[in-house]
Amino acid sequence: MKLLLAISLFILSLFSQDSYFLPDEYDDTIHHLTKKINNAEKSIFILTDNFNHYKIKKSLIKAAKRGVHIKLISAHNDEKKQLELYKNIKTYLLKPIQSPLLDGKIAITLIIIDNKIICKLSTALETAQMKHNIDIFTCKDDKEFIDKTDHTLTILMKRSKAYLEN
């Protein structure tokens, strides 16, 4: 099963423009992602199970101060209180599905920058997971894929609520 997963991840990475193998290329992954965030002009959308990464958070705050609109959906409250204090950053808590079989975990991280670049990862944007889990971080500029993903994310937004909403 692990071999099949590794082969699948490898094949997926071949079709992307940028790919990094975690945890081996952790530093390169963070450098690449923060560079993309720093170059954002209009918007950043993040869907992740857990957000707890200092360097990425720092880049998001800088982007928000430049006027980039950021939306973050996660299944946990983690560091959202700190991010929500900044203008242009909106954080959302994904409502869990009411089912005894589902625990509400988000099994993928998606990052869409300026509706031009989409990055994905099978682990959360969380330092310990990224440093210890085996994964492939990929980014590509496939407009058709971004549009289809954006449609799906619109549905998720309807199931999410603003973190500081009363």
Higher pLDDT, 10 or 30: 30
Mean pLDDT (whole number) for 72-81: 73
Mean pLDDT (whole number) for 97-107: 63
State yes or no: pLDDT of 113 exceeds 90: yes
Mean pLDDT (whole number) for 111-138: 92
CATH class entry, domain 2-162: alpha beta
Rounded to 5 degrees, φ, ψ at 71 are -120, 130
- Its pTM stands at 0.80
Determine the 3-state secondary structure of 110 from DSSP: strand
Domain ranges of the chain: 2-162
State yes or no: pLDDT of 102 exceeds 90: no
User: pLDDT (tens digit, 9 = 90+) per residue, 14-62?
Assistant: 454 789 999 999 999 999 999 999 999 999 999 888 888 999 999 999 9
- CA triplet 123, 127, 129: central angle to 5 degrees? 35
The answer to whether 159 and 95 are in contact (CB under 8 A) is yes
DSSP 19-55: EEEETTTHHHHHHHHHHHHHT-SSEEEEEES-EE-HH
